[in-house]
Amino acid sequence: MDDIVKQAIAKWPNVPGVFGWLSLDRRGAWLIRGERISNPLLAAFISRNYEHDAAGRWFFQNGPQRVFVALDYTPLVYHVGGNPVPGAPLTIEAHTGRTVARIDGAWIDDAGILLIATEHGPGMIDDRDLELLLPCFTGERGTALSEDAIAAAIERLQDGSAARLRFRYREHAVPVLAIASGDVPDKFGFVQRPGQPAGHEACN
């Protein structure tokens, strides 16, 4: 979080939150009232000051004010970072620009979306990057798999069945499990559509 934001919080600690303005789509883009933010400096400022509270509500700390974020799916969207070179280790980054050091879990939902849990929080992989991540999928013992074998395993998981599939990132591998998309918010403890708390002053 930016120092100037921390200073503003200390100076004005009780500013009412804002709801219904800011959202995050499945590509990791910020939107204000449904319009994508095209200014890269503003998008970067929001990303640097993006956090969550104990209730699982994610927000942008805009100076002393929290602007709560409506999530199209997950609070983070992960991408393959940089320009991948064939044979070189891949880097995964959150849409906030933070590089992933470790993956704690991996899931395929009923729509075939890959979700991961990292030190930064839970999020979906941008589906445009899934093909780049195929080398990360292995068998139970770390054996390489063909694209057809990976596709078949993902289909089984998408149907809610088990599959002997693992996801390796850097030096750590985790089993890939099935999950229903409707169960994702409860599984990871986040609120997709934060609402104005009853009895609180509205600030729209």
Residue-by-residue pLDDT tens, the chain, 204 positions: 556 656 555 544 566 688 999 999 999 999 999 999 999 999 999 999 999 999 999 999 987 889 999 999 999 999 998 776 666 789 999 999 999 999 999 999 999 999 999 999 999 999 999 999 999 999 998 999 999 999 999 999 999 999 999 999 998 999 999 999 999 999 999 999 999 776 555 454
State residue 200's pLDDT score. Answer: 53
State residue 11's pLDDT score. Answer: 44
Quote the Cα angle for 170-171-177, to 5°: 85
State residue 12's pLDDT score. Answer: 45
Pairing of strands 114-118, 121-125: antiparallel
State residue 89's pLDDT score. Answer: 80
- Which fold would CATH assign to domain 3-73? duf1285 like fold (3.10.540)
Phi-psi category of 54—alpha, beta or left, where left has phi over 0 and alpha has psi -120 to 50?
alpha
Structural domain spans, the chain:
3-73, 76-184
Other CB atoms within a 10 A radius of the CB of residue 119 amount to: 12
User: Residue 21 burial (CB < 10 Å; 0-12/13-18/19+)?
Assistant: middle
The C-alpha atoms of residue 107 and residue 113 are separated, in whole angstroms, by 8
- The residues that bridge with 99 in the sheet, in sequence order, are 93
Tokens of 158: 């998408």
